[in-house]
Chains A and B, each alone.
Chain A
Amino acid sequence: MAGGEGRRVAPQGGLDRLQLWLLSGIGLALLAAVVVTPLDLRNQALLSGGVFVLSLLLNRWQSRVATLAMVIVSITISTRYLYWRFTTTLLAAEFSIDVVLGTVLLLAELYAFVMLLLGYLQSLSTLERKPVPLPEDTSSWPSVDIYIPTYNEPLEVVRTTVLAAKAVDWPADKLNVYILDDGRRDAFRAFAAKAGVGYIIRPDNKHAKAGNLNHAMKKTRGELIAIFDCDHIPTRSFLQTTVGWFLKDPKLALVQTPHHFYSPDPFERNLKTFKTAPNEGELFYGLLQPANDLWDATFFCGSCAVIRRTALEEVGGIAVETVTEDAHTALKMQRRGWSTAYMNLTQAAGLATESLSAHVGQRIRWARGMVQIFRIDNPFLGRGLRLPQRLCYAASMLHFLGGVPRLIFLIAPISYLIFNRHIFSALPIAALAYGLPHLAHLTLTNSRIQGKVRYSFWSEVYETCLAYYIALPTTVALINPKLGKFNVTAKGGVVEKSYFEVKIARPYLVLLAINLAGAIAGLWKLSHGSLEPDVVYINLAWSAHNILILAGTLAVAWEQKQLREAPRVTVKLPAMVRLANGTTLRSSSNDLSRLGGAFTVPTDRDLKPGQRLWVSLFTHGDECPLPAEVVAYQGKTLRVKFASLSMEEELALTQAIFSRANAWTRWKEGRAKDSIIASWTSIVSHAVRGSWQIGKSLVLPTPSRPEKPAVAGSAS
C-alpha cells in the first residue's frame, strides 16, 4: 500500500480502548455462540471431546495466556452445561416431589457454578510482592508492638513464641513485645518479667481475643502492631520483610503473611501426607490470598500480620460483632479506603490443630463467622469497595455456604436408586454428554492453576469432611447472625493411641451407608431387569464417586498416634558436641525441637545413653553451649534431650530452630507435581485403607476415643 509507513494502524503499545472493547465483544460473542447452540447427542459428544483435547493442548503451552484461555474454555463449557440444564432439563411446572427435589438439585448446582466463577476470578493472577528495603536511617523506622494473646495455652508453647518475638531484628527502642494473658496466670507474669517483655491483663474476657487485643491497644503506643497467635513463632526477619511496604504506601493498613505449620495437621498425620502433598491451608495462603491482593482484597487472618495503628483506630479497633474478627476488621478498614497487602513469604511458623475434632471445631467457627459478616456487613452492599473487592470478599464468605449443596450432591443419586424419583428431565446419556465435560474441564483447569497448592480432588475430601458440620451453623448464621460463640483452638499435644474418631465420622458413616444402600439398590435393579438401565448406570457412577470420597474422608477420622510433645523441625546447622572430658567433636544438626535433637557425629565415639554433654549450634552471634543428655547413639546419629535450659540457652535454641530468616523457605522442595490421575489414585488408596480400618474397627473391639482427650498436653 502506498505510504504504508504513515498509515500504521496499531502503533507500538497496541490497540486503542475502542478496539480492545470491540475485540472482547467479538470474543464474548464467539463464546456465547458455543454456549447457546443446542446439539444432538452425537455432535455434543464430538464437540465436548474436541474442546477437551483443545484444552489439553493449551495445557502443554506454559504461558499465562494459555492458563487464562483454559479458564475461559472451562467457564464456557460449564456455562453451556448450565444453559442446557436450564433450557431442556427442567421438569414440568406442576408441583410434585420430583419438581421439589429437582429444584433443590438445580440450586445446589447453581451455587457450585457461582463458586466456580468466583474461584476462577480469585485465582486468575497472583501478586508476588517482594520486600521493600527499609531506609538506612533506623530513626525513621516506625515503632512496633508485638502482641501475643493467650488464654489457656500452656507456657511451654507460649514461651518459645515470646523468646522468638524478642529476637526479631528491629531497633530495640522501637520494639515492644507484650503477652496479653486472658488466663491471668502467675507463671506467665513471672516468665514475662524474667524474659523482659510486657505483660497485659484485663479484668474480664469480654469479646475474647478481639477484646484482648483492643484492651492492649489502649495500653501501648507503637505505630504498627504485629500480632502472633501464641504458638506462631516469628523469624527474626519478620519485621524487616514486612514493614517496608508501610513506609512506601501511607494508605496501607495491613500486611498479612502465610500461616505455616511445622507440625502435621490431622489430614497430613492421618493420611501420612505430611510434607509430600500440599496441606489444606496452602490453597488459601499460596494462591487465594496473593490473588486477593491483586484486587486489594487480602484480609487479616488473626496472626502473622502487621497492622497500622491509625487504620485500626479509625475502625474502632478489632471488630467484635462476629466470631471471625480478623476478616471483618480488614473489611471495615478497606471500606474506609485503606488498602491491604499480602506477602507470600513464610516468616513465622506454628502448630497445626492436633486433632480432627479440633480442626472441625475451628472451621465451624470460621464458617459461622464468615457467614455472619456476609449477613451483617455484606460485601456487596455498603460503600467504599470496588467491584473486584466485593467479589473477592464474597467468594471467601460464600465458600463456607458449601455445606448444604455438598450434602445434596452426596444424597442426590439415591433419590432415583432407592426412591425412583426422576429429578432431572433428560436422557442420562445426554446428561453425561453435557455434564462430564463440565467436570473434566474444571478438574483440568484447577489442576493447572492450583496444582502447586492443592492436588486434584483433595478439595472434595477437605470440604466433604466439613460439609455436615458447617451446614447447620452457616444456615443458622444466615438466618440469625447473632447466634454463635467463640471457641479456642487447642494446640500442642499428643495423641497417645490411634483411635477412630467416631464422633466426627458418624454423619459420614451414615452418608456412606446411604450411598452403599443406593448402590445395592441400583445393582438389584440391574440384575432384575430395569426399563432404564442407563439411568441406573449414571446414578450408580455418581454414588460410587460419593462412596469413594466418603471413604477417603473417613480415613481421616482414623486418628493416628502422635507421640512427640514438641514436633521436630528439620534444621541443618553446623554444631559442636563437647563431652565432659573436654573433647570437642565437629557435628551438624539433623532435626531439633525445644526438647531435644538429632545430630550427625562423623567421628566414632563411645557415647552411652544418659551421658551428659554440651551442644553448640552456630547460627549467628556468640556460641551458646546447651546442656544435654545422650538418648541414643547409633550409626553416626546422636540423639539427645536437652537438660533444663536457662533463659539465654532457651533463647539460643529458639533462634536456631525458628528465627532464621530462611527457616521455612525450602519447605515445599521435593514435592511431586500435581497429576490428576496420581491424585485420584492416592485418594482411592486412602479410601480403601480407610474403609478397611473402619470395617475392622466396627467388627473387632478396637481403641475408641481416649477417655480424656489429650488436647492440652501438659497443661499448666
Chain B
Amino acid sequence: MRPWSIGALLSLFAALFLATAARADTRSVSHTQTLDLAGALHDPTQAAVSFPFAARSDEVLTSAEVRLTFTKADLSNVHGLEVLVSSERIAQLTPEEIGKTAEPHIISIPSQNLSDRNLLTLRLATDSDGPCASVPAGTWKFLKAAELSTESSPLPLPSDLALLPLPFIDRGFDKDATVPVVFATEPTPDRVRLAGIVAGWLGMDNGLPLKFPVRVGELPETSAIVFVDSAEQAAALGLPAPEGATARLIDNPKVPGSNVKLLVLSGSTPEELERAVRNVSTGTAPLAGEKVRFDNVPPVTTSAPYDAPRWLPSGAVPFGQFPRKNVLTHQGSAPGTISVKFRVAPDLWTWPVENVVLDLGYTEATPIGTKPPRLDVEFNGVFLATLPELPPSPGEMTGRAQIRIRSEQLRGFNELLVHVAYPGVDACNAQNTDDVHVSITPDSRFRLEGFSHFANMPDVASFVHDGFPFTRVADMGETALVLPNRPEPAEIGSALSLLAHFASVTGTVGTRLTVLSADQFLANPRLDKDVLLVGLPSDHTALRRWADLMPLQLGSSGGQLQMPAQNNVVLRFLSGRMGHSEMRRAQPVVSGSKGFAAVMGWESPARPGRSVVAVTATSTAKMPSIEDMSGFANARSKAGDLLVSSGNGRWMFRIGPSYDVGTLKPWTQTRWQLANHWLVLFPAVLLGAVVLAARVKRGLDERTRERMS
C-alpha cells in the first residue's frame, strides 16, 4: 500500500459525505456489464447464482436494470425464477414467462434498493429453501444471457491529491481507463517524454490498459492531466500561474463542483516541470492536499538490464521471495484456488531444454475423518498434474512434487493455479475453520537456473505483451521513442499507452527514456538504443526511410505487403522460412480491411543487434492503444514480425528475416545456429556420409590387398 492510500480513503469518506450533502452534478453516467453465468455457476445443480455490483468510488448509483434473455429449453423442473438484489426480491418470473423467448425480459431495480455495494441474485424456486437448495442438472439451460446496466450520478470530489489515481482510475471498478492528457502548447519531444513518465507512473501500479487522448491548447470537459511549463501557458488555459515545480488537483473550470478534476503538473520553466514530473513519478514526496510543491530534484537511479522489480531474477527463486506477494494458503474446506502470478524476463531462453521443473511443496491440514483434498495444478491455462495424495495423519502433512512444464508454456507473464477441492464438499457444507487449510510452501520454486538471455527476433508478440526488447532495461535507458516531426495527438496517445504498459510490465517508470523527432533521429541513426517508431508513415520520415525493411507499407487507402529487404538470402533459405506462405496468409487480411493498425519489427540496419519496432496505422483514427494490440491474435508461430489489428480481430505473421539478440553459451549457440538453419543438415549428412564412405572404402581396399597378399 502506498502511504497516500489511507489519505485517499479518508478523502473518499469526506467525498461521500459531501455527496449526500449536495448533489451539484446532475450529469448521468451509464455502465453496462455482461454477467458471466458460466463463471458464477460452479455447479449445475446450484439453485442460485449471485453477482456483486457496485458504484464507482466517485459516483452514486441512481438506477439499474437486469436484462435476461431466455432460450427454448426443457422447463419441467423450472417452477419460477426470482430476481433479488441484496436479499430483497425485485421480481419473480413464472415458467410461462420464462417460456417466452422472443424478447428479453427487462427488470428494473428501484433506486431505493441500490447502495454502493450490491448483490444481484437469480434464484430458481425449489421445494427446499435456503442457501444450499439444489436443482436437477441442466435446469439452468433456459437462461441464455444476463446483462446488468446501471446509471450513476457523479459525486463531487474534494481537490485532494491523495485521492489519486481517482478520478482517473478506480482500481476496484474499472476494467480499463481513459486518461486525457493536455499539452498547453506544441508537444515537443521533451514534453512528450515528461508525459510518458507520468503515463508510466499511472500504468505502473494499476494493471489496466490505459488510453491517453491528447489535446493541445484546450481543456476537455472531463478529468485530465495538464502539463504547463510557463506562466503564459497556464494563463492561456485559464489555470492559475505556476508557483515553481508543483502538482495540484483542481476542479476542471469547465465542470466545476464535480468529480471532473484536473491534475496540473506545472513549472514556470521546462526544468521546473521536469522536477515536478520526476517527483510525482518517483513518489519521493507524499501527494496530499490540493497542491504540492517540489523543491528538490529526486536522485536519478539507473537500471541494469533485467533488474525490473517485477521480474524474477535468474535462478531458482522461492515463491516466498517473488516480487508479487501471492497468497499461498487456502483456508477452509470450500472449493478454491491458490494463484501464484509472476513475470520472468521475456527472453529467458530455455531451448533446447524441453521442460522446466516446478519444485512444488505443499502442506495440508485436514481434520480427522475428512478425506484429503484433491489438488489440481494448472499453469498458464494448461492442466499439469494432480498432486499425489498425502497419507492422512493428524496435524499438518507436507508433500513435494517435481512437475515438468513444457518450456514453450513459460511466458513473460505466468500464472500457476492450484485448485483445491475436498471430495463431497461444496460451498454449502464447507467448514471455514483454521484447522482446515492447504498451503503451497514458500520454498517452492521454478528451476530456472542456467538459462541465458537470448531471443530470436523480431517478436511483436513479446513486444505487445511484455514490451520486449524495450523493457529489458526497465528505466527505458536503452529505448529511443521516435515520433513524427509534428506528431498528431493520436500518435502521442498511442506512445503514452505503450509507455504506461511498459511500466506495468517492469514495475518501474521509464525515467531515462529518450524521445526524438524523426528528423532528430535520422541525423544520428547509429544511436545505440532500441528504437520504437510511433506514427503514420505519411508523417514519419524515419518510417519512410526504412520502408523497404517492413513487411507492410501503409497508406491512407490500406496496406501493401512486401518481402522486406534481406542481406543474406542463403541463410534465410536455410532457415526454411522464406515467408511467402505467410505473405499469402496475410494478403486477404490486409486487402480485406480498409483501415487498421499494425505493429512491425525488424533489426536496425544502422546498429546490428538493435531492434526497431514500428507502431503505425492507416489513419490517425486507427492509431492503436495497448488494448487494441494485446490479446488473442490469429497466428501460426509463437513470434512474428507483423501484427495487424483491425475491428475484426488480430493477426500475426512472420514474413521477413529473423535475427538474434543476446548471447548463448558457445555450445548452445552452435546448436541454435544449426537448428535455425536446419536445411544445411541435408547437404551436411550427404557430404559427410559420402566423404567418410570414400575414406572408409579406401581403407577397406587397402586392408583387402594386405590380407590377400
Interface residues of A (CB under 8 A from B): 14, 20, 23-24, 26-31, 33-34, 36-39, 43, 46-47, 50-51, 54, 64-73, 76, 87-88, 92, 94, 124-125, 127, 129, 293-296, 425-426
Contact = CB atoms under 8 A, between A and B. Distances in A.
Interface string B640-670: 0000000000000000000000000000000
A129 B688 CA distance: 32
A54 B576 contact: no
Contact of A51 (B357, B402, B671, B682): B682
28 contacts: A24-B691, A24-B692, A27-B687, A30-B691, A31-B689, A36-B671, A36-B674, A37-B674, A38-B352, A38-B671, A39-B678, A46-B576, A50-B682, A51-B685, A64-B697, A65-B690, A65-B697, A69-B690, A69-B692, A71-B693, A87-B352, A94-B402, A125-B700, A127-B704, A129-B708, A294-B704, A294-B707, A296-B707
B396 to A, nearest CB: 23
A92 B685 contact: no
Contacts of A76: 685, 688-689
Given A33-B681, A37-B675, A125 B694 contact: no
Contacts of A38: 351-352, 671, 675
B2 interface: no
B684 interface: yes
A68 B685 contact: no
Contact of B700 (A69, A92, A124, A129): A124
Contacts, number: 118
B354 interface: yes
B354 A125 contact: no
A166 B404 CA distance: 75
B693 A69 contact: yes
Contact of B686 (A29, A54, A87, A125): A54
Contacts of B674: 33, 36-37
Given A68-B697, A92-B357, A293-B707, A37 B689 contact: no
B665 to A, nearest CB: 14
A127 B691 CA distance: 23
A31 B355 CA distance: 27
A404 B281 CA distance: 71
B688 A127 contact: no
Contacts of B576: 43, 46
Main secondary structure on chain A at its contact with chain B? helix
A37 B671 CA distance: 5
Contacts of B351: 38
A47 B707 contact: no
B24 interface: no
B199 to A, nearest CB: 39
Nearest to B685: A34
A520 to B, nearest CB: 26
A624 B697 CA distance: 53
A129 B674 CA distance: 46
Among B681, B685, B704, residue most surrounded by chain A Cβ atoms (within 10 Å): B685
B696 interface: yes
Top 4 closest A-B pairs, CB basis? A30-B688, A68-B693, A38-B352, A27-B691
Nearest to B673: A37
B684 A33 contact: yes
B695 A30 contact: no
Interface residues of B, number: 36
Contacts of B355: 425
A30 B685 contact: yes
B703 interface: yes
Identify the interface centre among A94, A294, A295: most chain B CB within 10 Å of its CB. Answer: A294
A293 B708 CA distance: 10
A26 B691 contact: yes
Given A30-B688, A33-B684, A68 B696 contact: yes
B692 A37 contact: no
A71 B694 CA distance: 12
A672 B595 CA distance: 70
Interface in B318-362: 351-355, 357
B339 to A, nearest CB: 24
Contact of A34 (B688, B691, B692, B697): B688
B639 to A, nearest CB: 13
A65 B357 CA distance: 47
Contacts of B357: 92
B681 A37 contact: yes
A72 B354 contact: no
A46 B675 CA distance: 13
A31 B404 contact: no
B685 A54 contact: yes
Contacts of B352: 38, 87-88
Contacts of A23: 691, 695
A94 B675 CA distance: 31
Contacts of A68: 692-693, 696-697
A312 B175 CA distance: 95
Given A34-B684, A76-B685, A88-B354, 6 more contacts: A24-B695, A26-B691, A27-B687, A38-B352, A47-B678, A72-B689
Contacts of A92: 357, 402, 404
Given A47-B678, A294-B700, A72 B693 contact: yes
Contacts of B704: 125, 127, 294
B699 to A, nearest CB: 9
Interface string B393-411: 0000000001010000000
Contacts of B703: 125, 294-295
A31 B688 contact: yes
Contacts of B684: 30-31, 33-34
B689 A69 contact: yes
A127 B707 contact: yes
A140 B700 CA distance: 34
A521 to B, nearest CB: 21
Contacts of A70: 689
Contact of A65 (B354, B675, B694, B708): B694
A65 B695 CA distance: 9
Q: Which of A37, A54, A88, A124 has the most CB of B within 10 A?
A: A37
A124 B402 contact: no
A506 B708 CA distance: 49
A28 B690 contact: no
Given A43-B576, A51-B682, A20 B688 contact: no
Contacts of A34: 681, 684-685, 688
Contacts of B696: 68, 72, 124
A127 B685 contact: no
A660 B15 CA distance: 121
Contacts of A296: 707
Interface in B407-448: none
A72 B692 contact: yes
A491 to B, nearest CB: 34
Contacts of A54: 682, 685-686
Contacts of B707: 127, 293-294, 296
B354 A30 contact: no
Contacts of A294: 700, 703-704, 707
Contacts of B689: 27, 31, 69-70, 72-73, 76
Counting chain A CB atoms within 10 Å of each CB, the highest count among B351, B675, B693 belongs to: B693
A23 B689 CA distance: 11
Contacts of A28: 688, 692
A69 B678 CA distance: 21
Nearest to A71: B693
Most-contacted residue by chain A among B689, B697, B700, B707 (CB, 10 A): B689
Contact of A27 (B675, B678, B695): B695
A296 B404 CA distance: 52
A296 B680 CA distance: 40
Interface in B363-381: none
A70 B352 CA distance: 29
Contact of A37 (B678, B688, B694, B697): B678
A92 B684 CA distance: 34
Contacts of A14: 698
A160 to B, nearest CB: 35
